[in-house]
Amino acid sequence: MAAKTTDFPVKQRQLNEDIKNGTFRQCYLIYGEEAYLRYQNRDKLIKALAGDTNSMNFNRYEGDGLNPGEIIDMAETMPFLSDKRVILVENSGFFKNGCPELAEYIKAPSETTFFIFAEKEVDKRKDIYKALAKTGFEMCCEEQDENTLSTWIMSKVRNEGKSISPRAVAFMLERVGTDMSNISTELEKLICYCLDRPQITEADIEAVCANWLTNRIFAMTDAIASQNQKRAIDLYYDLLALKEPPAKILALITRQFNLMLQAKEMSDNRRDNGSIASALKLAPFLVGKYIGWGRDYSFQQLRDALEMCAANDEAVKTGKLDYVISVEMVIIKCASLKKNAKNAG
């Protein structure tokens, strides 16, 4: 993952200081692609400001189609036996599509009302973003780089009284991906698995952590070979949601079709599964899978699929195609190739 400049660490320290010192701004915007950090900081603010989400002084508004006037009316309502009313507005789209009413209101809200906005996407050109950034606090919870994630993993492991080597951390990231919610879940499993041992090893990670990327690529290949375009596309967008780069997904699809072609050629030449597994460096139980996938494709169609993958990759690199769309096109076309396979030579 490429290194990038980010102000997230500075913003996180500022937010933590606000909470520690009780010096709150009246409007907070927590946004960005990394849901784990977004939810974590949202919940920190709710706990610090409202204490209890069941309180009559805490109000939650969520989803598209919210009425800004209703939110403003609530903001103007005095808190009951408290000095604060806390309003959470989540996944509203206000910071992506704009909301003139709230943009104007948050410039000078009721002194007893505190807003927490939690959004996945924002458009910094919108008036509501500019108004909040000027008088409140905004923080982008973006995808973290591998160095940050490695430090975070080692810290969580250390807090559990255990240790893990940098090499094992790198192996874990390669195996489970960079989504922090997924990593956190897998770490919980690892801690339980290694309850009676002080160190988490690569063998432990391999035994416990699901290789979600491989599983999804296999499921996608299965869907493509079965001509289930919808299933294949849904799995593709699952991978995008988990922050897998389209270029990596295309490379893995290409690898699958290359393995199908080689397995088909060797099988047709009467090679047994053991020798095919050895030649392709695959686990023996996987050979039958690749032979099965390739059975109803002709050799030419498998070659066409590989050429299509290469052509689309080139089209992206020369600026002729968007990467997300190009991979979707490959999936749809590859899932259609099989229709005339039995009539092809």
Classify residue 7: in a domain, yes or no: no
Helix (H) or strand (E) holding 192: helix 180-193
Do 106 and 176 sit in the same domain of this protein? Answer: no
Amino acid 5: pLDDT: 59
Dump pLDDT digits (tens) for 108-152. 999 999 999 999 999 999 999 999 999 999 999 988 888 899 999
**3-class state of residue 27 by DSSP:** strand
Confirm whether pTM is higher than 0.75. no
Classify residue 54: in a domain, yes or no: yes
Of 140, 167, 186, at which residue does a domain stop? Answer: 140
Burial code (b: 16+ CB inside 10 Å, e: under 16) for 219-241 equals ebbbbbbeeebebbbebbeebee
Q: CATH number, domain at 115?
A: 3.40.50.300
Dump pLDDT digits (tens) for 263-322. 999 999 989 888 998 898 877 777 888 898 888 788 999 999 999 999 998 988 888 888
Classify residue 5: in a domain, yes or no: no
Of 187, 208, 229, at which residue does a domain stop? Answer: 208
**Could you tell me which of 55, 65, 40 has the C-alpha nearest to residue 86?**
55
The total of structural domains in the chain comes to 3
Is residue 17's pLDDT more than 60? yes
Do 232 and 292 sit in the same domain of this protein? Answer: yes
Average pLDDT over residues 147-166: 95
Do 168 and 268 sit in the same domain of this protein? Answer: no
Domain that holds residue 104: 22-140
Amino acid 342: pLDDT: 45
Of 120, 140, 160, at which residue does a domain stop? Answer: 140
Classify residue 69: in a domain, yes or no: yes
